[in-house]
Structure 1
């Protein structure tokens, strides 16, 4: 096995993480407005009156309302002053640049500065933003935007309860339509058991790095860490797929597009952990360093990037919230454990190299002169 000094390995890991952070910044900024978790569950319950081909649902943990229109007729979404805001129909999706909602809905907090041309009473100026039949947007009518909880929640935060019913008005020609929904408070889970589980997993996996590397037990320990890291990678890929589905992806093509455009680094991190685990299982050279690097990326991009999943009742993943917490906990435990085990093994190898006696070169004997 190639023996890499611990200090050099640490510098390389640090530099690699810094480069990954720098490269990931634009992607994180692009998707930063999707909530990582919340205790408010928003649901679209009905389109009234019902129209075949017109459907609504909440995506991104309730952070956006999605409206899909395949009726063959344009449908307008009305803004906060009753002005035309969005137009969805056979020609795609258009937004009214004169509507204040166009600017307010760009962030989930609604704190975007209005354009000087924003005027709900002005004649709409339509700008095409998509050629598909669906639009997704932050709608303040579906969200709880106050810094503190509602009075009824403050009085009894341990009980699930209705915050309000909401309505988003639509218009199709001369007909008025409503998207109706609910906003409920859901008490948060206790995050303590999940963090304890992640910490214990980290300690148990990291302890494998204390097993001497040059022994049969050391080989088994290396393979065990590799297998667990690969499991953490699989958990990360599963969580990433679930998050992409929660963001509204439909079909195989929509899923692949969502993974490649919205969850690129998380997906690469999971796949990298799987590859690093396989590398260790094969007992390849430099496996210790590979484990440490892949584990650090797993902790950073899959575990530490999603702490709200462990402490919020509504998580940004399609499927049970408990499953999402299990997947994030696996990523934290296996990633941190692989870092510890890999660095401990590197340190042991470097120390053994320093204490290995070096044999002096043999000097050929000078033939005796006669």
Structure 2
């Protein structure tokens, strides 16, 4: 027990939070998008990818096209950053045509609502401290929420390798996900350390979720799914993590008082 305490304590102190989303993409209230290509080029398409930070030109035609002094050959795809795409209404020359686009701005939600949801989840998580079985169930739910958030963030990135991006989006999760399995296994075997490990997993998930607070106040989130689904996953990670930490240590105090 003392060895486990030392190990997880060191991990918790030395762990650093993950990037809020994979690929360094960040929540925002504006999003650049392509309106169209005028006049159209046969087999050539353009779109904004990676949360509106890059222009992607796909050439499925038979002739090469030039964009930003770069030749995109037949069958090629090219992605790059172009400062012109940050204007409210923008144009980028593409061969003999022009890619037209605009930046849409949508106000973000009221973060107070999501903070209340997070607080309610934290209170519910604290009540899980009544038994090891409830704590184990809470560990599973909160850990799965963080995994889904990391996966959704990774899938929102275009043109990158999944595994490195997933690792970057996971951060502390790479440590606490295996520990979640330890917590569940300890609870199944009725081990005294179950509550402690559950509490540490909860605390580490809070650390992992701290950078995601911005998801509560911006409208456009780099997530492969509805923004409110991502916000709920963040609320589960933060609120559930707090509840597990409090409930786990409350269970330990109760056991020690017997």
Q: TM-score, normalised by structure 2?
A: 0.82
Residue 277 of structure 1 and its aligned partner are, at CA, apart by 5.6
Q: CA deviation at 1:65?
A: 2.5
Contact preservation (8 Å) 1:38, 1:61: no
1:213-228 equivalence runs, <5 A: 221-228=131-138
Q: 1:29 to 1:316 in 2, by over 3 A?
A: closer
Q: What do residues 286-335 of structure 1 show as CA deviations (whole Å, max 9, x unaligned)? A: 2222212222222122x212111111011111221111111111111111
**Structure 2 unpaired stretches of 5+:** none
**Cα RMSD between the aligned structures?**
3.3
Q: State the Cα distance separating 1:237 from its structure 2 match.
A: 2.1
Distance 1:267 1:340, change over 3 A: closer
Task: Map Cα deviations across residues 212-256 of structure 1 (whole Å, 9 max, x no partner).
Answer: xxxxxxxxx22222212211222222222221222126xxxx774
SS of corresponding position for 2:78: strand
What is the number of equivalent residue pairs in this alignment? 257
How far apart are the structure 2 equivalents of 1:167 and 1:324? Answer: 32
- In the alignment, which residue of structure 2 is the partner of 1:59? 49
Bigger RCO of structures 1 and 2 (CA < 8 A, at least 6 apart): 2
CA deviation map 1:93-144 (0-9, x unaligned)? xxxxxxxxxxxxxxxxxxxxxxxxxxxxxxxxxxxxxxxx433333322226
Secondary structure at the aligned position of 1:188 is classed as coil
Specify the SS of the correspondent of 1:306. Answer: helix
Kept after mapping to 1: 8 A contact 2:110/2:217? yes
Matched, 1:291 2:198: yes
Structure-2 change in CA distance of 1:70 and 1:198 (3 Å): same
Equivalent positions of 1:231-250 (< 5 A) are 231-248=141-158
Asked whether 1:139 is paired with 2:82, we answer yes
The secondary structure found in structure 2 opposite 1:44 is strand
CA 1:263–1:29 in structure 2 vs 1: closer, same or farther (change >3 Å)?
A: closer
Please tell me whether the aligned partners of residues 240 and 259 of structure 1 are also in contact (alpha carbons under 8 angstroms). no
Partner of 1:312: 218
Whether the 8 Å CA contact 2:37–2:99 is kept in 1: the answer is yes
Aligned to 2:251: 345
Partner of residue 14 from structure 2, selected from 14, 19, 23: 19
Q: As a proportion of its length, which structure holds more helix?
A: 2
Q: Distance between the aligned counterparts of 1:295 and 1:279, measured in 2? A: 16
How has the CA–CA distance of structure 1 residues 12 and 341 changed in structure 2, closer, same or farther, with 3 Å as cutoff? farther
Q: Distance in 1 between matches of 2:52 and 2:107?
A: 16
Q: Is the 8 A contact 2:172 2:207 kept in 1?
A: no
Kept in 1, the 8 Å contact 2:19–2:211? The answer is no
Contact 2:135/2:244, CA 8 A, preserved across alignment: yes
Query: Are residues 87 and 351 of structure 1, via their aligned partners in 2, closer, same or farther at CA, if it must alter by over 3 Å?
Result: farther
Structure 1: distance between partners of 2:12 and 2:79: 33
Q: Deviation of residue 349 (structure 1)? A: 4.0
